[in-house]
Structure 1
């Protein structure tokens, strides 16, 4: 990168990527929880995961908040535009994650119906998927309400 990101923005970006890797099961957090220097263990790539490399997300869309080009100067004059774009992007990601968790919970429910003897083995996974989808729904509602507030202002 050209150094246009602050340390906080870079930390947030890396943290978001680590959370995504953890959520899809590519990495596992160490049993010892640390406030600093947390250790993660890289697992094998999940078989149902499709990966595509993207050079620069912001330049691809042409509407990035941090691209430093002509759009960057315009975004500095309209910080609510930058916030709106970031929130819309976050809402899309959360919506996708929520649908994934809902689909997972739905499939576990179908498995319970079709094969009742599996219930004890996978019930905890079902509850985790259901809880995750509920939390993500709350996140999505908060972001959508914030977007409405920004649009009205």
Structure 2
């Protein structure tokens, strides 16, 4: 089972718990790190434990101390790489959103010049946000290059 399948399984279970009324989504909606509140178990709900839902990872043969140390070093280097790649995707999406927002404000200025005074501040904020996100993205991409080269 890979990470995507695990995420989908967990998400499906959360949806089921929400549908039966065992949990409630927090009133504040978040794109990430959504909070749910556990409620009392519904009395009409029958729960059964399902074991062996996922395949267990194959057991690797015994390794000597040097091989284990090398494997741990490789895993510790991969984890930050994955995290940075994920972060780069998120920032890229946010940056494209901010760029699209700034672009739309610019089009509105052209089409309806009377709006410029009202929404110019929003335009400037969107433009600044996209510039900051571009800087974040460059820093992460440079760090990824450094990690891969090492």
In the alignment, does 2:124 pair up with 1:127? yes
Task: Please name the residue that 1:87 is paired with.
Answer: 84
| Separation in 2, partners of 1:121, 1:75 | 58
Shift in Å, 1:93: 0.1
| Separation in 2, partners of 1:50, 1:79 | 27
In the alignment, does 2:142 pair up with 1:138? no
Task: Please name the residue that 2:115 is paired with.
Answer: 118
| Separation in 2, partners of 1:75, 1:137 | 34
Cα–Cα, structure 1 residues 86 and 75, in superposed 2: closer, same or farther, change >3 Å? farther
Contact 1:75 1:82 in 2 (8 A): no
Instruction: Normalising by structure 2, report the TM-score.
Output: 0.53
| Separation in 2, partners of 1:102, 1:75 | 42
Cα–Cα, structure 1 residues 148 and 131, in superposed 2: closer, same or farther, change >3 Å? same
Q: Which ranges in structure 1 are unaligned for 5 or more consecutive residues?
A: 1-41, 54-68
Instruction: Normalising by structure 1, report the TM-score.
Output: 0.52
Contact 1:94 1:140 in 2 (8 A): yes
| Separation in 2, partners of 1:138, 1:151 | 20
Rg bigger for which structure? 2
Q: Which structure exhibits the higher relative contact order, with contacts defined as CA atoms closer than 8 Å and separated by 6 or more residues?
A: 2
Aligned pairs for 1:64-75 (under 5 A) are none
Match of 1:109 among 106, 111, 117: 106
| Separation in 2, partners of 1:50, 1:140 | 19
Moved runs in structure 1, 4+ residues, more than 6 A?
none
Task: Please name the residue that 2:9 is paired with.
Answer: none
